[in-house]
Amino acid sequence: MAGEQIRLLVIEDVPQVASHIAALLNAQSQIKLLQVIASGDMALPAVAEYRPDVVIIDALLQGRVSGASVASGIRRANPEVTLISLTVPQNPVQEDSDRGIDAVLRMPFTGFDLTTLVRRVHEERGAQSARGRSLMIALFSPKGGVGRTTIAYNLAVTLAATHRVCLVDGSMQFSDLRGLLRVPADAPSIVNLPTDRIREADLAEVMWRDPSGIDILLGPPRVEMAEMVTPGDVEKTLSLLRKLYDFVILDTRASLSDDVLVFLDAADVILQVLSYDSMAIRGLAMAGETFRAIGYPATKLTTLMNRADALGGISRAEVEETLGHPIDHELPSEGLLVLAANNDGLPFVSVAPAAPITRAMRALASSFAARLGVQTPTAAGRR
Ligand SMILES: Nc1ncnc2c1ncn2[C@@H]1O[C@H](COP(=O)(O)OP(=O)(O)OP(=O)(O)O)[C@@H](O)[C@H]1O
Ligand SMILES: [Mg+2]
């Protein structure tokens, strides 16, 4: 998006070149130099830590790891990051995006050359970046108890095997995730964020780092505090989260009120959850009319039947007819596993990796990963 700072990481072992780049960038504010890393060995952990948009890598890195292998390693692990190879005319380097060389910067260069190239390549690669690089998924149901919180948590954990994921607790009054994960009462929440300008550091301070590998932005610890969170605060927070995570999963409460609509408006995808329960089906059909009236495109909606093997006398075709659209995903019912995992505050996908419900969850996660345009999660993740 225009006007946003580009986050730059530099992998450079020649101190003079590193300080030259830093000096050139000092005079401008479009590109934020996050850090200079002086060794190829440290490149991957640094990318994980600093979450850059663009990385400049010296093609002539000395030491154990070459510039070329650093570039291809980052490309494999973080395909969303734009990579620029820095070289001298005597050492020509060819652009090759598959190997992590999206552009080549040749020495000597001016501040103008540097900022123009970084901006251009970042914009080209991220043509769909504002939307394409992150996917915000809101779980929605007008009927309570259909499994939104359970699915949101397990979907987030599944995606976290291969992506940066944040889960947002959208139930401001009763904070379902605090209950599920038995978070201490004094754990910070969205109410601890500043109301004027939210910075990345503020967000980092209030995130609950779940042992499962996901970051969670919790709802307030007390019912009456829900009123302290305005729709404007939520909007600002979500737009910043988009920049920091590949997936932002939003767990909402069962309602179609203004506090829920903030989440639904911001989402790229609304995952409508229901079960074979006539009230849930009717409620979702009514919500569908509202979504059409608001002007949400059909592509924004996708539907998941939870406990899909518990038909209760209703057929899938009947439900699809009532809703006016197909059921896109299904999760089976696994009462004992889900209940026990929830009661232990653990994701069922980790407790029972081979269970049918976990396989179904991986399929769901894969379909979202495919929308993001990068590799799909596998059982063996990077965490
Ligand atoms: N596929 C499933 N198989 C078995 N039990 C499930 C399944 N999905 C959810 N449950 C159970 O259903 C109950 C409700 O789930 P959950 O709290 O996630 O729903 P919710 O839609 O978030 O509800 P609320 O309206 O309270 O926010 C939980 O006890 C959970 O263990
Ligand atoms: Mg819930």
Q: What is the pLDDT of residue 381?
A: 34
Q: How far is the CA of 37 from the centre of ligand 1 (A)?
A: 46
Among 174, 180, 255, 338, say which to mutate for ligand 1: greatest number of ligand atoms within 8 Å of CB.
338
pLDDT < 50: residue spans in the chain: 1-2, 128-132, 374-383
Label each residue of 309-342 as H, E or C: CCCCCCCHHHHHHHHCCCCCEECCCCHHHHHHHH
DSSP labels, 264-302: HHH-SEEEEEE-S-HHHHHHHHHHHHHHHHHT--GGGEE
Q: How far is the CA of 8 from the centre of ligand 2 (A)?
A: 38
Q: Where are the beta strands (DSSP E) in the chain?
A: 6-11, 31-37, 54-58, 82-87, 103-106, 135-140, 165-169, 208-209, 215-217, 247-251, 269-274, 301-305, 329-330
Counting Cα atoms < 13 Å in the Cβ hemisphere of 175 gives: 24
Residue 9: strand pairing partners: 35, 55
Separation of alpha carbons 95 and 85, rounded Å = 8
**The two structure tokens encoding residue 79:** 């395909």
Which residue, chain included where needed, has tokens 């939003």?
250
Equal CATH topology for 6-127 and 132-372 = yes
Which residue, chain included where needed, has tokens 């978070």?
183
Q: Kindly list the protein residues that place their beta carbon closer than 5 angstroms to ligand 2, a single-atom ion.
A: 148-149, 176
Separation of alpha carbons 182 and 235, rounded Å = 27
The continuous run of DSSP H or E covering 114 comes out as helix 111-125
The response to whether residue 148 sits with its C-beta less than 6 Å from ligand 1 reads yes
Separation of alpha carbons 276 and 146, rounded Å = 10
**Phi, psi values for residue 262, rounded to 5°:** -60, -45
Q: Is 9 helix (H, G, I), strand (E, B) or coil?
A: strand
**The two structure tokens encoding residue 258:** 């203004």
Residue extents of the structural domains in the chain: 6-127, 132-372
Atom of ligand 1 nearest to the CA of 171: 27
CATH architecture of structural domain 132-372: 3-Layer(aba) Sandwich (3.40)
Q: Which CATH class is domain 6-127?
A: alpha beta
Counting Cα atoms < 13 Å in the Cβ hemisphere of 56 gives: 28
Q: How far is the CA of 338 from the centre of ligand 2 (A)?
A: 14
- C-alpha dihedral (323, 324, 329, 332), degrees to nearest 10: 40
Q: What is the pLDDT of residue 128?
A: 45
Query: Are the beta carbons of 252 and 260 closer than 8 angstroms?
Result: yes
Separation of alpha carbons 307 and 134, rounded Å = 29
The response to whether residue 335 sits with its C-beta less than 6 Å from ligand 1 reads yes
Separation of alpha carbons 170 and 260, rounded Å = 7
